[in-house]
A and B are shown apart, each in its own frame.
Chain A
């Protein structure tokens, strides 16, 4: 199943990567769609702010706990996708998939957030009508 899911997920990334730009700034100026990242850990802080939401997450890297900053979509867009300011809270254990920043810092752009209950939320503003499907890949409305 995992072997099937990974190419699917990568496929979704590649689909989105073509001309992928997000609402407030150029995606490609900051992030590299060809460098996907999966961050599994504990949310430490949530900023429900414009022009983008930011999630901070502690993950284990090589036996050490490090903190990543993850950019999500604009709160307005996420709100209409079903998010609320309290959807994600410090202490939540989640898995975030997205793209790494080009500058090599522990910064990423989120595509999907798998919530503590296993459900996925589409976290980006990339492309029109992106939405999380039942199997935690990105689909189209």
Chain B
């Protein structure tokens, strides 16, 4: 009798450890702890933006552009246009003429930073003292934004696909400056070009819990006659996680990419 009770108790205990509906095994769909929620359980996007210990807005979280943009022209302010130099216009027109078939991105090489913030795959910002990291789901890539007070390197002895990034606060806006690009990535899929002269400035402002207003300023005097800005609204993504994206796994498109 005693052994039956013991066995039943053990079984009950064991059953309690098992997930009842598989939900505890979820990755995408697991409720994000510690975020403001409405009575119906959904995230309260209008709640105040959280702050870090030093009183600055905390940008940490998973973010997705409110709308996907593959042509940066769609993210200009109304009435603005892309201020090409003749060289910039020539390269852009060539890329449009063959429908961007030579985009390095189609070969699983890095996308440009402007378009990477505007894709249909989210990114995770991790803000810690002296460092902010952006983990992009797209291509399982990351960027380090150093906030330890160092300046941008004066001499770029090894230009990089993603350049080198430093960040500072301008009031409640996190300002990221990036230089040292190798000039190989296209700014977007339409084919806006950039060179090693590119300087990118990103201004992140978390206006409430659920939204970051992002301005990206593209300054490349070889391709554009003046700095120009694109704008995006990033929306907080609750109850999800970044998923793996190994671009090289099964890239079957190239033989079919005839262009015209």
Give residues in A with beta carbon < 8 Å to B: 19, 21-26, 28-30, 47, 49-52, 54, 69, 71, 74-77, 79-80, 101-103, 105, 107, 125, 127-129
B230 nearest CB across to chain A (Å): 15
Q: Give Cα distance in the complex from A33 to B212, angstroms.
A: 34
Chain A residues near B98 (CB-CB < 8 A) = 29
Q: Is the CB of A30 within 8 A of B256?
A: yes
Could you give 14 example pairs across A and B, Cβ below 8 Å? Answer: A21-B70, A22-B70, A24-B105, A24-B247, A25-B105, A26-B189, A29-B98, A29-B257, A49-B250, A52-B252, A71-B253, A80-B28, A128-B67, A128-B68
Question: Which residue of A is nearest B108, CB measured?
Answer: A51
Surface stretch bound by A, among B10-18, B51-59, B238-246:
B238-246
| Alpha-carbon distance between A22 and B250 when the two chains are bound, in angstroms | 16
From A23, A26, A28, A107, B121 is in contact (CB under 8 Å) with A23
Which 10 A-B residue pairings sit nearest by Cβ, starting from the closest?
A: A25-B106, A49-B250, A26-B100, A29-B101, A128-B68, A28-B99, A21-B70, A29-B99, A128-B67, A76-B243
- CA gap between A25 and B248 in the complex, in Å: 13
* Given known A-B contacts A29-B101, A79-B28, A128-B67, A52 and B253 have beta carbons under 8 A apart: yes
Report how far A71 CA is from B256 CA in the complex, Å.
11
Q: Which of B28, B99, B105, B258 has the most chain A CB atoms inside 10 A of its CB? A: B99
Closest CB of chain B to A51's CB: distance in Å? 5
A103 CB to nearest B CB, Å = 5
Q: In the bound complex, do residue A54 and residue B252 qualify as a contact, i.e. CB atoms below 8 Å apart?
A: yes
* Contact partners of B108 in chain A: CB under 8 A: 24, 51
Q: Which residues of B contact A102 (CB under 8 A)?
A: 256, 258, 260
In whole angstroms, what is the CA distance A138 to B253 when docked?
A: 24
Contacts of A23 on B, CB cut-off 8 Å? 68, 70, 119-121, 138
Is the beta-carbon distance between B250 and A47 smaller than 8 angstroms?
A: yes
Q: Please measure, in the bound complex, the distance between the C-alpha atom of A54 and the C-alpha atom of B28, giving whole angstroms.
A: 22
Judge whether B71 is part of the interface by a CB distance below 8 angstroms: yes
* Secondary structure class of chain B's binding surface, majority of residues: loop
Cβ contacts under 8 Å, A127 to chain B: 68
Distance from A54 Cβ to chain B, minimum over Cβ atoms (Å)? 6
Q: A21-B189, A23-B120, A125-B120 are in contact. Are A54 and B250 (CB under 8 A)?
A: yes
Contact yes or no, B100 A50, CB < 8 A: no
Q: How far is the CA of A36 from the CA of B46 in the complex (A)?
A: 42
By the criterion CB–CB under 8 Å, are B120 and A51 in contact?
no
- Minimum Cβ distance to chain A for residue B83 (Å): 21
Q: Are A25 and B103 in contact (CB under 8 A)?
A: yes
Chain A residue numbers with a CB within 8 Å of B70 are 19, 21-23
Q: What per-residue 1/0 map shows which CB atoms of B108-147 lie under 8 Å from chain A?
A: 1000000000011100000000000000011000000000
Cβ-defined contact, A50 with B240, below 8 A: no
Known: A23-B120, A30-B257. A51 touches B247 (CB 8 A): yes
Q: How far is the CA of A20 from the CA of B220 in the complex (A)?
A: 27
Checking A25, A51, A80, A129 against B257 with a beta-carbon cut-off of 8 angstroms, the contacting residue is: A25
Closest to B98 in A: A29
| B245 pairs with A74, CB closer than 8 A | yes
Find chain B residues with CB under 8 A from A101 CB.
Answer: 256
Are B258 and A29 neighbours in the complex by a CB distance under 8 Å? Answer: yes
Interface residues of B in 215-260 (CB under 8 A from A): 240, 243-253, 255-260
| CB closest residue in chain A, given B121 | A76
Decide: B253 and A30 in contact? CB cutoff 8 A. yes
**What residues of B have a CB within 8 angstroms of the CB of A47 in the complex?**
250
How distant is the Cα of A139 from the Cα of B248 in the complex, in angstroms? 31
Interface string of B180-197 (1 = CB under 8 A from A): 000000000110000000
